[in-house]
Amino acid sequence: MLPFSFIGSWSYTNPATPVAVNIPMTAKPDWFFVKDTTNWGAQSTAANPIYAEWFSATMAQGSYLALGQPSSTGAGVTTYASQGTSGGFTFIDQTNPPTFTKVAVTTVNGTTFVVATANTTGINVGDFVRLINVVGAQQISGSNLYQVTAVSAGVSITLGFAASAASAGLVVANGTTGFYQKVYPGFFLPNTLPVAYITQATQAVVYFFRQNPYTPGELVDFQIPTPYGMTQLSNLTGKSGSGPFSSNPSGAARVLSVVNSATVSSITIDVDTTGFTAFQFPTSAAFAGGASPAVCMPAGSGVVPLNGSATIPASPPGTNLADAFDNRSQYVMNIGLSAVGVANANMQVFAFKADFVNGITNA
């Protein structure tokens, strides 16, 4: 039995178009509420909700109770009190995250990576999805996670990081029917990531399907299966002259610079790939016939470069501490769009843990 406790208080400000908000928690709350401190009592315009809450005892994940506020003229809000079973509060243990049902897609554009689907419920920019059994594009189906960069409600989601890789050279045929599924990723960082594309350059640029965890100075290694071409970049940590990759360079690649923008995820490494075999994704049929993913994995700490230089270290020189293995999983309360509040509102959040939670059956 845990003693009653006030877990904490948080605040956030909604943008012009509100998005779901994740609140980090130290425990699963039994009572959680969020209150609009901007519009509370200001009746010049209607606001819904200005208050929303969730109880652990009787409410399911994703549900909510909410209060709206009518304008002084009574226009706008027609429902003062409301409740719902989705778009509310969802508690997430990132070590054991919930799973989501898969959703049908009708097409996947292999260049723009716009995924056409009639159902975008619960999908927000920044979410992670995987693609399942995409006919004609099985090479992008499976365990790989893609980050959503745009959502057109009820029409499509856009996987902008993949599209940026396609602009750089990733070639994937258009897919037809299949599924997407929302996924909460793991939070052990730095982690292994599937590679989307690698350029042939004196300092190769490696593209990913989602934002990457790597940092300048970090050492990384690769496992590039034969169908992907650039096998010369595999097993760099191994000793040159031994094993099946005897002509590969020896020593892990050093990350010189990192890009993690809204739609581009890449690292530049200190390996000259101009003479290497071109990197290419296998075809859909070749992948379905049996293939492993091309991956980049963390391989140690190196000297931090000066502004991306391959030869000049940062001044004062130092090694990279930001690349240490770190478990960043935590408890999170996700506040969905039905509870997160209205545009531009300052929202105050409170969470409590109960001493006991009982249902009285014979009072």
Partner 1 sequence: MLNSAAARLGQSLRETQDALQRDNLESSASIINCVGGTNGDIPTEMTISDVDDVFTVLQNNSGEYITNIVEAELRFGTSPIGDAYGCMLTTRMIPTLYNMTGFIKKFQYPNISQTLSVEIGGANNVRFFASEQGSVSPNASMLGNDIANCFVSAKEAYKVVWQAGGKARFIYLPPGYNNDPCMLRHTAGCSFYQGQCITNDLWIQNLRSTGI
Q: Is 191 in the site for partner 1 (CB under 8 A)?
A: yes
Among residues 325 and 362, whose Cβ is nearest to partner 1? 325
Stretch that binds partner 1, among 12-20, 166-174, 183-191, 332-340 (CB under 8 A): 183-191
Considering only 39, 223, 265, 268, the residue that binds partner 1 (CB under 8 A) is: 223
Considering only 143, 315, 361, 362, the residue that binds partner 1 (CB under 8 A) is: 143
Q: Is 200 in the site for partner 1 (CB under 8 A)?
A: no
Q: Is 266 in the site for partner 1 (CB under 8 A)?
A: no
Stretch that binds partner 1, among 34-42, 44-52, 105-113, 133-141 (CB under 8 A): 133-141
Residues that contact partner 1, how many (by CB under 8 A): 45
What does DSSP say about strands 346-353 and 31-36: parallel, antiparallel, or unpaired? antiparallel
Q: Is 237 in the site for partner 1 (CB under 8 A)?
A: yes
Residue 284 identity: S
Return the structure tokens found at 119. 């159902």
Q: Is 358 in the site for partner 1 (CB under 8 A)?
A: no
Considering only 24, 154, 241, 243, the residue that binds partner 1 (CB under 8 A) is: 243
Considering only 8, 70, 84, 142, the residue that binds partner 1 (CB under 8 A) is: 142
In the complex, least distance from residue 245 CB atom to partner 1, rounded to whole angstroms: 8
Among residues 66 and 236, whose Cβ is nearest to partner 1? 236
Residue 302 CA, chain-centre distance (Å), reads: 27
Burial of 3 (0-12, 13-18, 19+ CB in 10 A): exposed
Which of positions 311-330 make contact with partner 1 (CB under 8 A)?
324-325, 327, 329
- The DSSP line for 212-269 is ----TTEEEEEE--GGGS-GGGS-TTSPTTSSTTTTS--SPEEEEEEEE-SS-EEEEE
Who's near 315: CB < 8 A, 6+ residues apart?
A: 306
Name the residue among 104, 80, 277, 90 with its Cα closest to residue 175: 104
CB 30 within 8 A of CB 336: no
Hey, is 152 helix, strand or coil?
A: strand
Considering only 73, 292, 309, 344, the residue that binds partner 1 (CB under 8 A) is: 292
CB 232 within 8 A of CB 273: yes
Q: Is 282 in the site for partner 1 (CB under 8 A)?
A: no
CB 183 within 8 A of CB 215: no
CB 35 within 8 A of CB 347: yes
Among residues 275 and 356, whose Cβ is nearest to partner 1? 356
Chain residues binding partner 1 by CB under 8 A are 1, 3-5, 95, 99, 102, 130, 132-133, 138, 141-143, 179, 181, 186, 188-192, 221, 223, 235, 237-239, 242-244, 287-288, 290-293, 295, 297-299, 324-325, 327, 329
